[in-house]
Amino acid sequence: MNILNLLIFVPLLAATAILLGTSARRTALGASVLNLILSLIALSQYQPGGDRFQFLSVATILPDLDLKYFVGADGLSLLMILLTAIVTLAAVWVSPRVERMEKQFYACVLFIAAGAMGAFASLDLFFFYAFHELALIPTFLMIGIWGSGDRHAAAWKITIYLAVGSFILLVGLIGLYLAVPETQRTFDLTKLMLPGMVKNISASAHWIYPILLTGFGILISLFPFHTWAPDAYASAPAPVAMLHAGVLKKFGLYGLLRVALPLMPDAAREWSDLLLVLLVGNVLYVGLATIAQKRLDLMLGYSSVMHMGYIFLGIASFNFIGLSGAALLMFAHGLAIAALFALTGQLRDRTGTVRFSELGGLAKPAPVLGFLFALAAFASIGLPGFANFSSEILVLFGAFGAQVSKLVPVSGNPIAPPPTFTHFQVATVCALWGVVISAVYMLRGFRAVFLGELDKRWAKIPDLARTIRWPVILLLATLMLGGFIPRFFLKFVQPTFEIFAPR
């Protein structure tokens, strides 16, 4: 059987088996381990110098509309599939004891994983959209049923925001389908990427691209459509926060890289100025809001929104270096934020609170928890040695030189850039200030929780169990691999961008 089909259907079949009565945790853990092994096999078998899309599998559904179940993967897809597999395994592994509806809980986790796998592997626009919706439905349910705090309000808020974003995205995808001459209309991305089809789409791209950018932007929490994310992550169970912030939020970014930029490159350049303004809002405005937070979970939620600005900066640069950095940063951010939410969940289980004012000195009774949290925090800040640093460097260099690539005319002869600072360079400088802001809020948060005077209430809290340490170590070890050997991952994603992005 095709390996991508296995990656999609293993969690679906495991979720079905759980609902039919098998052991929930063991089945979910076994399926997650199997999917990680399968994703590593797929990555090892992928040939970066071969065909663009590999592991193809097709089943026609509606021939008249050229609608088909069509999966395939290039290096970018496989990197996102690997991210999904790693975070899913960690999320299942660190899941707390579920007191009620345990089978439904683990089934929902696996449905989220299956939806993400399907979205990243789909080469048909219909299933690309449908798989993402499959992942969103259990996300809403899990926040509303197993969440904490004002979980019902958070569940409704995320449902409304993401439903609006999904509807706008659907309008954009329908517009993309209709932009092609009637006799050539298709949902097949491999056909839409042909030069003749891209030329047909470009005539309508000036209005289709902003619709797609808005739809994807809401799903990603692009400023000012970001307010749903912090409340949702703060109220969500740790596995849901890990999967949504670490994986599902990357769907919108992946959609821009897979659909919007390759099919509408001129429109992407045309709207880059607006995107630069909005991403600076993500970095500076949301960054300052992150500093003001008084709870660890909300701080991490706002932090996740803030770091989307860096990925948007790499996407807006529209050159080989910036896009490569954006893809690697998607992977790195997913791992880092998943580790932070996993450890925050363990902290909440031990103390019953994540308010800075009620914590402090926890590194004494729980040194391993404090040490691993420090590593994850350093990775999020972008400390050298982690993949976040490598990817942010690429994004910043790509964005600072982006104006040169924008001024390359059709003839291919480069035009000298203007001597003064360009809007891309101004945005890059703002992003550099964001690095300072992220260091401030993350180090202050770590100090408030793990350093200082220890409250007597927490003197005997247990440290991380040995079994819980391993999934966090897996996330951090992968981040270090990307930090010390970024080429290990970049060699897979860079062929994707060589086709349409200038070096």
| Mean residue pLDDT across the chain | 88
In whole angstroms, give the CA distance from residue 318 to residue 269: 8
In whole angstroms, give the CA distance from residue 310 to residue 324: 12
The pLDDT confidence band at residue 416, using thresholds 50, 70 and 90, is low
The pLDDT confidence band at residue 419, using thresholds 50, 70 and 90, is low
- Averaged pLDDT, 151-173: 90
Position 453, amino acid? E
Q: Residue 4 in contact with residue 39, Cβ under 8 Å?
A: no
Contacts of 93 (CB under 8 A, 6+ apart): 29, 32, 467, 468, 470, 471
Q: Residue 209 in contact with residue 260, Cβ under 8 Å?
A: yes
- Averaged pLDDT, 44-65: 84
Q: Residue 448 in contact with residue 298, Cβ under 8 Å?
A: no
**pLDDT, tens digit, for every residue of 327-337?**
999 999 999 99
- Averaged pLDDT, 225-239: 88
The pLDDT confidence band at residue 415, using thresholds 50, 70 and 90, is low
Q: Residue 39 in contact with residue 331, Cβ under 8 Å?
A: no
- pLDDT value for 407: 42
Q: Which region, left, alpha or beta, applies to residue 385 given φ > 0 means left and ψ of -120 to 50 means alpha? A: left
Main-chain phi, psi angles of 454, to 5 degrees: -90, 125
Q: Judge whether residue 143 has pLDDT over 60.
A: yes
- pLDDT value for 413: 54
E strands in 28-174: 54-62, 67-73
The pLDDT > 90 percentage for the chain reads: 51
Contacts of 119 (CB under 8 A, 6+ apart): 128, 131, 132, 135, 251, 254
**pLDDT, tens digit, for every residue of 376-399?**
999 999 899 999 999 999 999 988
**pLDDT, tens digit, for every residue of 437-478?**
999 999 999 999 998 888 888 888 888 888 889 999 999 999
**pLDDT, tens digit, for every residue of 242-295?**
999 999 899 999 999 999 898 888 888 888 889 999 999 999 999 999 999 999
In whole angstroms, give the CA distance from residue 85 to residue 29: 11
Q: What is the secondary structure of 197-210 as a DSSP string?
A: HHHHHHTTHHHHHH
Q: Judge whether residue 405 has pLDDT over 70.
A: no
Contacts of 162 (CB under 8 A, 6+ apart): 136, 218, 219, 228
- pLDDT value for 77: 93
Find the angle CA(362)-CA(308)-CA(47) to the nearest 5 degrees: 105
CA-nearest of 253, 3, 9 to 114 is 9
Max avg pLDDT among 84-88, 191-195, 205-209, 450-454: 84-88
Q: Residue 190 in contact with residue 123, Cβ under 8 Å?
A: yes
